[in-house]
């Protein structure tokens, strides 16, 4: 059996990378939503960070990235 031509392998890997990037982005969104629930439960981002044993910066960065992504998708306009 002949190995797949290199162009086909590259196309397959590109498809896989696209899928993995989408899945990672969706997971980051769900994580940020959970962090926001933690903030609602515990009162602030620092408390969530302490509870999880991670830095406040990590919590803040994840939430900010999610919120700015959400704002960008909400504020996008179409020209028709």
What does pLDDT average to in each consecutive run of 10 residues of the chain (80 residues)? 93 98 98 98 98 98 96 72
pLDDT at 73: 86
pLDDT at 74: 83
Give the whole-angstrom CA distance, residue 80 versus residue 74.
17
Cβ-contact 64, 50 below 8 angstroms:
no
Per this entry, what is the length of the chain?
80
Cβ-contact 28, 66 below 8 angstroms:
yes
**What φ, ψ does residue 42 adopt, rounded to 5°?**
-100, -15
Q: Which two tokens stand for residue 73?
A: 């998708």
pLDDT at 79: 55
């Amino acid at each position: 059996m002949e190995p797949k031509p290199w162009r086909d392998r590259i196309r397959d890997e590109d498809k896989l990378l696209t899928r993995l990037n989408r899945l990672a982005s969706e997971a980051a969104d769900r994580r940020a939503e959970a962090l926001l629930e933690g903030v609602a439960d515990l009162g602030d981002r620092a408390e969530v960070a302490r509870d999880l044993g991670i830095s406040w910066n990590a919590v803040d960065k994840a939430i900010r990235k999610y919120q700015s992504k959400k704002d960008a998708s909400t504020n996008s306009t179409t020209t028709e």
